[in-house]
Amino acid sequence: MTIQEIQEEIVDEFSMFDDWMQRYEYMIELGKSLPLIEEKYKIDTNIIKGCQSKVWVHADMKDNKIEFTADSDAIITKGIIAILIRVFSEQHPADIIKANTDFIDEIGLKEHLSPTRANGLVSMIKQLKMYAIAYQTQLD
Amino acid sequence: MLDVLKIREDFPILKRTVNGQPLVYFDNAATSQTPQIVIDAIVDYYSNYNANIHRGVHTLSQEATDAYEVARKKVQQHFNAKHTHEIILTAGTTHSINIIATGFTDLLTAGDEIIVSALEHHSNIVPWQMLCERTGAILKVIPMNKEGELLIDVYDQLLSDKTKLVFTNHISNALGTINPIEEIIKKAHRVGAAVLIDGAQACPHIKPDVQALDVDFYVASAHKLCGPTGVGVLYGKEEWLHKIPPYQGGGEMIEQVTFEKTTYAGLPHKFEAGTPNICGGIAFGVALDYMNTIGFDAIASYEEELLAYGTQKLLEIEGLRIYGTSKNKTSVISFNLDNIHPYDVGTIVDKLGVAVRTGHHCAQPIMDFYKIPGTIRASFSFYNTKEEIDVLVNAVKKAQMMLS
């Protein structure tokens, strides 16, 4: 699936809910399916700055596609990073770099998009794209 | 007895909703809300007599100067300072602390010692660390016990003739502990050390008497006292304020300027370079009047009631732990739910209209002590109600349900 298709799928899933509680409960549920980072990568240098909770992200490249793994000590944050990883993992770096993230707004998580928000959704997206840029330069 | 429902009418913000729910504002330790009378004072200033102070001969400037100096007088009376010129109006507590920390650079030599408490806010740690870096002085820390109280017997051992300065907050922002500052001040003076008390958290609950305390410096912020942001106070004993050099150079703080030499203005202007926050200062005075009209005794006893009620209700939640359990504490409850990140709880209760603070509360050493990433902090003010505490408790229960 392309990034765009996955985003549409997620928007579709979230459209079933009519209040924030159901949305958050689903997000928490998605957090449980997060591809977990290996313990050895759960180190300070892999922590995304700008989050009130800790978020670790690790990236690997296989067959020219990036595989992300992550974890967080907060369950809502874990849900957010899980959604992002579902969208961006196993994609070509170039596609990750050019992808837009408007779907966040559509699934009712717009409030998390503010750069001053302590959960650092913006920092997370930035970090994932940074990995993509780094791997893209290897391919170039 | 406070007529809380009537008091709530004074605060327009308390009528708003958040995420579709009536606002329950429990982040008072971060900033208090603003009563209409203070908002009106701000509007009145800009509508009727906005002018720069202390220099114009024109009517507006005179009016603004008078109002600003009346405010200073109110601050003096509130803190019971001996002289009006011992009251420096600053941008806030952090600014006040930095004036003193910077000012002591020339008064310390390598090997001198500075004592801070383990309960400090970062803004009362970092400026002293910077001072130590500049002077070679050594920073010592009064440790705390698990109730969140300072270990005064260790403090006794830290004090010596090398001690030049002691700094502690009057009340801990993260835990609400009321520190025994009378004792801390007395003991510091015995070895000839000066004492600065950070009253940012205390002033919303307690009316400090700087002369009775015999404290050398006392600092606070207007925005925690129903006043506007960007204004604070630095009280200093006259003799200390004379000893300390000016913090910033600029207009207002000079007596005479030539390119050869500038002589500084007297107190308090020596520390008030540039155009001050005139409107803020005036509104600060109005806020103090407002709080004094309600009365600090009434405020303290009502908030004590809220603290007792909140503590009891929150502790009924299984797996909830309160940090900071001193018998001497103000209406601040710092807590966590077992195995749940404070950030998650904060996010959910916000959705339910409840404003609490989550995180390390700018007091990372305290969080390290308890080995936790942070806490959820609910801080009550005199305009809060028990019904609002019930809303908080239900919101926390809901969060616990969703998150476990």
**Does the beta carbon of B251 lie under 8 angstroms from any beta carbon of chain A?**
no
Mean pLDDT, chain B, as a whole number?
A: 94
Statement to judge: residues B60 and B209 lie in one domain: yes
Residue B251 has pLDDT above 80, yes or no: no
B326 vs chain A: nearest CA distance in angstroms? Answer: 27
Residue B345 has pLDDT above 60, yes or no: yes
Residue-wise pLDDT for B25-59, tens only, equals 999 999 999 999 999 999 999 999 999 998 778 99
Statement to judge: residues B284 and B377 lie in one domain: no
> The CATH number of the domain where B133 resides is what?
3.40.640.10
Q: Which of the pair, A103 or B210, is modelled with greater confidence?
A: B210
pLDDT at position B288: 98
pLDDT at position B291: 98
> The CATH number of the domain where A56 resides is what?
3.90.1010.10
Statement to judge: residues B270 and B157 lie in one domain: yes
Statement to judge: residues B22 and B60 lie in one domain: no
Omega prior to B127 cis, within 30 of 0: no
pLDDT at position A119: 56
- Structural domain range at position A24: 3-139
Q: Which of the pair, B174 or B265, is modelled with greater confidence?
A: B174
pLDDT at position A51: 66
CB-CB under 8 Å, A75 with B344:
yes
Question: Closest-CA residue in chain B for A51?
Answer: B343
Q: How far is CA A127 from the centre of its chain?
A: 9
Span B91-115, mean pLDDT?
95
Statement to judge: residues B217 and B97 lie in one domain: yes
Statement to judge: residues B387 and B345 lie in one domain: yes
User: Which of the residues of A are catalytic?
Assistant: 51
Span A15-38, mean pLDDT?
90
Q: Show which of B293, B312, B330 is a domain's final residue.
A: B293
Residue B205 has pLDDT above 60, yes or no: yes
Q: Which of the pair, A139 or B204, is modelled with greater confidence?
A: B204
In A, what residues contact B, Cβ < 8 A? 20-21, 24-25, 28, 52-54, 73-77, 118-119
Residue-wise pLDDT for A100-121, tens only, equals 988 888 887 776 655 555 557 8
CB-CB under 8 Å, B373 with A75:
no
Q: Which of the pair, B64 or A110, is modelled with greater confidence?
A: B64
CB-CB under 8 Å, A20 with B344:
no
Q: Nearest CA to B331 among B374, B381, B376?
A: B381
Give percent of chain B above pLDDT 70.
100
- Structural domain range at position B358: 4-30+295-403
Q: Which of B343, B373, B402 sits opposite A24 (nearest CB)?
A: B402
Domain count, chain A: 1
Instruction: Give the single-character DSSP code of A100.
Output: -
Domain count, chain B: 2
Statement to judge: residues B248 and B156 lie in one domain: yes
- Using the structure block, give the residue that is written with the tokens 């759960």: A42
pLDDT at position A113: 55
Residue B362 has pLDDT above 80, yes or no: no
pLDDT at position A115: 53
Q: Please check whether residue B205 is in contact with residue B224, taking contact to mean a CB–CB distance below 8 angstroms.
A: no
Residue-wise pLDDT for B172-189, tens only, equals 988 999 999 999 999 999
pLDDT at position B33: 98
pLDDT at position B364: 82
Residue A58 confidence class, pLDDT cut points 50, 70, 90: very high
HEC readout, chain B: CCCHHHHHHCCHHHHCEECCEECEECECCCCCCCCHHHHHHHHHHHHHHCCCCCCCCCHHHHHHHHHHHHHHHHHHHHHCCCCHHHEEEECCHHHHHHHHHHHHHHHCCCCCEEEEECCCCHHHCHHHHHHHHHHCCEEEEECECCCCCECHHHHHHHCCCCEEEEEEECECCCCCEECCHHHHHHHHHHCCCEEEEECCCCCCCCCCCHHHHCCCEEEEEHHHCCCCCCCEEEEECHHHHHHCCCCCCCCCCEEEECCCCEEECCCCHHHCCCCCCHHHHHHHHHHHHHHHHHCHHHHHHHHHHHHHHHHHHHHCCCCEEEECCCCCECCEEEEEECCCCHHHHHHHHHHCCEECEEECCCCHHHHHHHCCCCEEEEECCCCCCHHHHHHHHHHHHHHHHHHC
CB-CB under 8 Å, B340 with A118:
no
CB-CB under 8 Å, A74 with B402:
no
Statement to judge: residues B217 and B335 lie in one domain: no
pLDDT at position A117: 59
Q: Which two tokens stand for residue B216?
A: 């050398």
CB-CB under 8 Å, A52 with B374:
yes
pLDDT at position A114: 56
Residue-wise pLDDT for B286-336, tens only, equals 999 999 999 999 999 999 999 999 999 999 999 999 999 999 999 999 999
Statement to judge: residues B323 and B175 lie in one domain: no
> The CATH number of the domain where B381 resides is what?
3.90.1150.10
Within 8 A of B348 by CB-CB distance, chain A residues are: 24, 76
Question: Closest-CA residue in chain B for A73?
Answer: B341
pLDDT at position B1: 79
ipTM of the complex, rounded to two decimals: 0.86
A86 vs chain B: nearest CA distance in angstroms? Answer: 21
Q: Show which of B258, B274, B293 is a domain's final residue.
A: B293
